Amino acid sequence: MKLAIVGATGMVGTVMLEVLKERNFKYDQLLLVASKKSVGKTISYLGKLYSLIDLEMALEEKPDIAIFSAGGNTSLNWAPKFAEIGTTVIDNSSAWRMDPSKKLIIPEINGNLIDPNDKIIANPNCSTIQMLMVLYPLHKKYKINRVVVSTYQSITGTGVKAVKQLENESNNIEGEMAYNYQIHQNAIPHCDDFLENGYTKEEMKLSNETNKILDKEIKVTATAVRIPVMGGHSESVNIEFKNSFVISDIKSILSTTSGVTVQDNISELLYPMPFYSGGKDDVFVGRIRQDFSCTNTINLWIVADNLRKGAATNAIQIAEKVVKKFF
């Protein structure tokens, strides 16, 4: 079984290699794909030296599975070419997420929908994944009417350039800017491009992807904020249900949900924080409380490593589903 990692030298790509190792993902041949300028350079991985190849070279190798994390334009141009030769493409960009002919998959929620004809499978947005891991079991029990979410997103979601900007600003060094403003000691209410409706693409992803994955009737409104945190996205989420609930039952449901860890004990000051989510695959939830201002409504706080479950781990979990079903 040939596995290709497209964007192997990027932030998500390097995490993918870590996750493959940790999950003991089985393959016969691993292809590490990068840009043309990186071709011929080597990466040491699991005691072996791998030469980086470009997309054309990878296509000639006809991999069984290709996990893309190289940006939307690359995915739009190259994913169909790989799909045409029979490769199953798992794409981490936003290129195919809202394409009605493509599945948008969180394995714990709708992994059962994958079938042999799915040659391009979309990986959801990082903020969507962590939110829906919590919403899904609650929606099954109580039915969700509306969600109001504010995100507090790590600079790693922007990429290496943003990490460098924060490092430079922290050390009073002038350098290239990933953002329009200083991010050090700041919060920027601007993730991705603005749309005509006044929302950003990131904010609309939370709404549109929730509707596609979970339920088209759920109303979602979002505000996405970039904060000077090196790793881990946080979300303040207000959920209005159709049916009544008991808070203890909410906690019980989430405590028994695979991939979710409840950290909710205010007497011991236990709640999720991005600093402690780093390197972990679970989604952490806490500050679970009834909203006294609205009927059948709760507030909670969700945190996850955006490079792990928000990107690399979810993509590899999809690959595991594909292998289990069709190889």
Is pLDDT of 100 > 90?
Answer: yes
User: What is the per-residue pLDDT for 49?
Assistant: 96
Q: Is the pTM of this model over 0.75?
A: yes
Same fold? 2-124+311-326, 127-306: no
Active-site residues, by number, are 126, 233
Q: Whose CA is closest to 308, among 103, 104, 64, 69?
A: 69
Q: How many CB atoms lie within 10 A of CB 73?
A: 10
Which sequence spans correspond to the domains of the chain? 2-124+311-326, 127-306
Q: 225-245 burial string, b = 16+ CB within 10 Å, else e?
A: ebbbbebbbbbebbbbbeeeb
H helices within the chain, ranges in order?
Answer: 11-22, 55-61, 72-84, 107-110, 126-142, 160-170, 201-213, 247-255, 274-277, 313-326
Going by their DSSP bridges, the two strands 48-51 and 42-45 should be labelled as: antiparallel
Q: Whose CA is closest to 262, among 112, 119, 87, 133?
A: 133
CATH of segment(s) 127-306: 3.30.360.10
Tens digit of each residue's pLDDT (9 = 90 or more) over 108-151: 999 999 999 999 999 999 999 999 999 999 999 999 999 999 99
The CATH fold assigned to 2-124+311-326 is: Rossmann fold (3.40.50)
- CA–CA separation, 95 and 269 (whole Å): 41
Is pLDDT of 327 > 90?
Answer: no
Q: How many CB atoms lie within 10 A of CB 181?
A: 11
Q: What's the one-letter identity of residue 166?
A: L
Going by their DSSP bridges, the two strands 233-241 and 144-153 should be labelled as: antiparallel
Tens digit of each residue's pLDDT (9 = 90 or more) over 211-233: 999 999 999 999 999 999 998 99
